[in-house]
Amino acid sequence: MKILVSGASGGLGQIVIEQLLKEGHIVLATSRNVEKAKQLPFYNKIEYFQYDLANPTEENLFDFFNQPDALIHLAWDKLNEYKNETHLSTILPQHQLFLDNLFSNGLKDITVIGTCYEYGLKEGELEENMPSSPIMPYPQAKNLLREHLQELQKETKLNFKWLRVFYVFGAIRERKNLYTLITDAIKRGDTSFNMSGGEQIRDFLSPREIATIIVKVATQNKVEGLINCCSGKAVQLKTYLQDFLRINQYNIELNLGFYPYPDYEPMETWGSIKKLNTILKA
């Protein structure tokens, strides 16, 4: 397949492109910074297009991007600022214009990255048929984009897949997460790592596992709509981190209870993989 990847120079974008190339796909890639893109190790193996969603054009983007068979839409700004109202006021309209342009000019297949935060504060195992109730601007904007695309799907023969990604544990270039925070503390030689009480139940995947799922979902068209991107395994946060430290023989203590529990996350949440497995086991 000839697949366009937006957000190509971002941390997850790079891993997704590597996976696509590994599987023999033709990769069309876009981001706003061509100089940054040129530093990517696979730059000479892809067809790159510089485009900034913040500066939209009325040009036919489907032709501009060389008429891709499908789009994996990873681009999104301010990913570490969940409560920033810019997600709703500025970023969301930019993405709507970008995708509307592609669809109106011929794109028929899209996979978009969403977030488990779209479920809001629901506890327990989360299934795709549950209603969305996001409480922060970032997942609210994502959820509104999903609803917008679902309306477009009613009017076109669009193959539409929306992947709600759960918790990431692993290095993603230029992104902060629990993994980067604790490994940075280890590199500094800290003797303890400040965190919450650690009683939360979570669902973790590595960046490589997420990228593999994204590619698998994007390159099929039998299963569509909302799809959880998760392990389906409920694990206690402090136990997960203690196992990580023990396996890697890292000498650092968890300073449990230093921070309060986040007000934007449920205490116990993990994803159902019933729908995902219909794709992975096909």
The residue extents of the domains of the chain are 2-167+204-230+271-280, 178-202+233-269
Q: What is the CA radius of gyration of the chain?
A: 19
Domain 178-202+233-269 is found in CATH 3.20.20.140: no
Sequence-ordered strand ranges (E) for 65-105: 70-73
Question: Do the domains 178-202+233-269 and 2-167+204-230+271-280 match in fold?
Answer: no
Alpha-carbon gap, residue 124 to 1, rounded angstroms: 37
CA–CA distance, 197 with 195 (Å, rounded to integer): 7
Domain at 2-167+204-230+271-280, CATH class: alpha beta
Q: Which helix (H) or strand (E) holds 64?
A: helix 61-64
Contacting residues for 66 by C-beta, under 8 A, at least 6 apart: 2, 28, 47, 49
Q: What residues does 124 pair with on adjacent strands?
A: 269
pLDDT tens, per residue, the chain with 282 residues: 999 999 998 889 999 999 999 999 999 999 999 999 999 999 999 999 999 999 999 999 999 999 999 999 999 999 989 999 999 999 999 999 999 999 999 999 999 999 999 999 999 999 999 999 999 999 999 999 999 999 988 888 889 999 999 999 998 877 888 999 999 999 999 999 999 999 999 999 999 999 999 999 999 999 999 999 999 999 999 999 999 999 999 999 999 999 999 999 999 999 999 999 999 998
161 forms beta bridges with 111, 225
Contact 30, 48 (CB under 8 A): yes
State the DSSP string of 178-240: HHHHHHHHHHHT-SEEE------EE-EE-HHHHHHHHHHHHT--SS-EEEEES----EEHHHH
The residues facing 204 across adjacent strands are 167
